[in-house]
Amino acid sequence: MTGVGQASGGVATELLEASSRYIDEGIFEGAASVSPIDGRLADFGNGMALVLSFSHVIAVEDGDGLALVDTSTAALAPRALAALQTWSDAPVRTIVYTHGHVDHVGGARLFSDEAAASGERRPRVVAHEAVDARFARYDLTPGYNALINARQFGRRAAVGVGQGDWPSEWLRPETTFRDRMTLRVGGEVVELRHARGETDDHAWLWMPDRRVVCGGDFLTWVFPNAGNPQKVQRYPGEWALALREMAAMRPELFLPAHGLPITGAERIARVLDDIATALESLVRQTVTLMNAGARLDDITREVQVPTELADRPYLRATYDEPEFVVHNIWRLYGGWWDGDPAHLKPAGAAELATELADLAGGAERLASRATELAVAGDLRLACHLAELATQAAPSSTECHAARAEVYRARRDGEVSLMARGLYAAAAAESVDRSTNEPTDTPANDSMDEPALGSARRGECS
Ligand SMILES: [Zn+2]
């Protein structure tokens, strides 16, 4: 294969030029500019294309049919399929999941059904062996997953909604691997490699003939989603190692599952090194403080991403954020206890709040102080007092009104989608209880990437 990284289509050229400019000049023009999901197809030549979606769908022609890497969500797959059909009428023979998140596997059934409807054999599905256990976990916790995704994306977190829009039918991989696997796509070798990072079931692909890496969610043009407060363990240190292993291949084209493709061996190596360095720095700082006996509270306050890295256009904390990653590092190497002896077997939250409200002169006093602090800009402290006020007086409309205001202000002061979503959900709870009429509080209404926010609804990391 030749013509590595040479975009033969207008969209591919446009995307590669944009990513080169952002990386080389360090420009950040907003989350939407680095995360296109508009359904267009980028043709990279030599029988390789990428459909911009959530996740992207990467296709490789092998003479006999197509191999896909990821399938987008069930909702977005029809658009991705239509885009692919304008590019190739070959049937899909193979589907590789980079991991089992619903935005990567949700569209698989459509592609499989489409092959069957055309009288072709169904594609074989290839993935890491832990994908099946993920699906089993999802089947055990559909209510929880519907709820936390609603919260993460700022929708009303209605406890007891049940399964909601959480999927229940998975197209399970029949070919699995543990560490490495070599696939043949046409005459071409495709190496699958496992590493833990965002998930425990992640695979990334190396195509030596093309010098292409398909990186899954290891590089997504946002600060690594290694902290996510509501979700299972992530692996920041192993994530960094995987990035370094990718860089060692000297790829000339990098195709991520989210965000812009990147061309040029030097440029790709620089980006991979920056992201790895940011993660390694968080791990090193956190573990150093753990070894010195620090409590989690001290550690989250102290650990920072080196400033020059935090400003990179592919490391912006618009989705997850470093503070959350520190919690995950603590959890990975330590336990759930934060080191505060009072938190080991604590009093009930309402009991503590009632005691403090009595000391302060009433729950309303806590609420009004919360409002003052919020106005003064100390939103971290304001949230504690607002929370205590409503825990001490759960039926006080006045306390809930204050709490709603404090969390709205908190949402507005945050940048990451996760923090904004969770604070918006908290505000919505109190909006309901500060009046007697339920109202909808959109969480991410003032975000500059509404399309991204709604598209990410399906993510289940
Ligand atoms: Zn993803």
Q: What is the pLDDT along the chain (461 residues), one digit of tens a residue?
A: 333 444 555 999 999 999 999 999 999 999 999 999 999 999 999 999 999 999 999 999 988 899 999 999 999 999 999 999 999 999 999 999 999 999 999 999 999 999 999 999 999 999 999 999 999 999 999 999 988 888 887 664 443 334 356 787 899 999 999 999 999 988 899 999 999 999 999 999 999 999 999 999 999 999 999 999 999 999 999 999 999 999 999 999 999 999 999 999 999 999 999 999 999 999 999 999 999 999 999 999 999 999 999 999 999 999 999 999 999 999 999 999 999 999 999 999 999 999 999 999 999 999 999 999 999 999 999 999 999 999 999 999 999 999 999 999 999 999 999 999 999 999 999 998 887 554 444 444 333 333 344 444 445 44
70 closest CA partner among 60, 55, 89, 84: 55
Q: Is the Cβ–Cβ distance between 37 and 53 less than 8 Å?
A: yes
What is the location of CATH 1.25.40.880 in the chain? 347-458
Angle at the Cα of 269 from the Cα atoms of 240 and 216, rounded to 5 degrees = 55
Q: Name the CATH topology of 10-279.
A: Metallo-beta-lactamase; Chain A (3.60.15)
- Cα of 217 vs centre of ligand 1, distance in Å, is 5
**Torsion-angle region of residue 392: left (phi > 0), alpha (psi -120 to 50) or beta?**
alpha
- Cα of 119 vs centre of ligand 1, distance in Å, is 31
Q: Is the Cβ–Cβ distance between 390 and 407 less than 8 Å?
A: no
User: Would you state the pLDDT for residue 432?
Assistant: 84
- Cα of 398 vs centre of ligand 1, distance in Å, is 41
Which amino acid is it at 425? A
User: SS3 for the chain, per residue?
Assistant: CCCCCCCCCHHHHHHHHHHHHHHHHCCCCCHHHHCCCCCCEEEEECCEEEECCCCCEEEEECCCCEEEECCCCCCCHHHHHHHHHCCCCCCEEEEECCCCCHHHHCCHHHHHHHHHHCCCCCCEEEEECCHHHHHHHHHHCHHHHHHHHHHHCCCCCCCCCCCCCCCCCCCCCCEEECCEEEEEECCEEEEEEECCCCCCCCEEEEECCCCEEECCCCCCCCCCCCCCCCCCCCCHHHHHHHHHHHHHCCCCEEECCCCCCEECHHHHHHHHHHHHHHHHHHHHHHHHHHHCCCCHHHHHHHCCCCHHHHCCCCCCCCCCCHHHHHHHHHHHHCCCCCCCHHHCCCCCHHHHHHHHHHHHCCHHHHHHHHHHHHHHCCHHHHHHHHHHHHHHCCCCHHHHHHHHHHHHHHHHHCCCHHHHHHHHHHHHHHHHHHCCCCCCCCCCCCCCCHHHHHHHHHCCC
Angle at the Cα of 57 from the Cα atoms of 275 and 254, rounded to 5 degrees = 35
User: Would you state the pLDDT for residue 150?
Assistant: 83
172 closest CA partner among 139, 116, 126, 205: 126
331 closest CA partner among 222, 196, 231: 231
- Cα of 55 vs centre of ligand 1, distance in Å, is 6
Q: CA-CA distance, 298 to 202, in Å (whole number)?
A: 32
Q: Is the Cβ–Cβ distance between 255 and 214 less than 8 Å?
A: yes
Tell me the pairing of strands 124-128 and 48-51.
unpaired
- Cα of 278 vs centre of ligand 1, distance in Å, is 20
CATH says 347-458 is which class? mainly alpha
Residue 141 CA, chain-centre distance (Å), reads: 19
Q: CA-CA distance, 266 to 391, in Å (whole number)?
A: 55
User: Would you state the pLDDT for residue 186?
Assistant: 86
Q: CA-CA distance, 429 to 269, in Å (whole number)?
A: 45
The protein residues having their C-beta less than 5 angstroms from ligand 1 (an ion) are: 55, 103, 217
- Cα of 368 vs centre of ligand 1, distance in Å, is 41
How big is the chain, counted in residues?
461
CA atoms within 13 A on the CB side of 403: 32
8 closest CA partner among 253, 183, 250: 253
- Cα of 102 vs centre of ligand 1, distance in Å, is 8
- Cα of 394 vs centre of ligand 1, distance in Å, is 38
- Cα of 330 vs centre of ligand 1, distance in Å, is 24
User: Would you state the pLDDT for residue 8?
Assistant: 54
What is the location of CATH 3.60.15.30 in the chain? 10-279
Q: CA-CA distance, 43 to 174, in Å (whole number)?
A: 29
- Cα of 104 vs centre of ligand 1, distance in Å, is 6
- Cα of 92 vs centre of ligand 1, distance in Å, is 21
- Cα of 201 vs centre of ligand 1, distance in Å, is 12
Q: CA-CA distance, 456 to 54, in Å (whole number)?
A: 7
Q: CA-CA distance, 400 to 389, in Å (whole number)?
A: 8
449 closest CA partner among 30, 27, 19: 30
- The token pair at 27 is 């420009």
Q: CA-CA distance, 138 to 104, in Å (whole number)?
A: 14
- Cα of 434 vs centre of ligand 1, distance in Å, is 37
Give first-to-last CA distance, the chain, whole Å: 35
Q: Is the Cβ–Cβ distance between 371 and 409 less than 8 Å?
A: no
Q: Going by C-beta distance under 8 Å and a sequence separation of 6 or more, which residues neighbour residue 297?
A: 338, 339, 340
Tell me the pairing of strands 57-61 and 66-69.
antiparallel
- Cα of 332 vs centre of ligand 1, distance in Å, is 22
Tell me the pairing of strands 203-207 and 212-214.
antiparallel
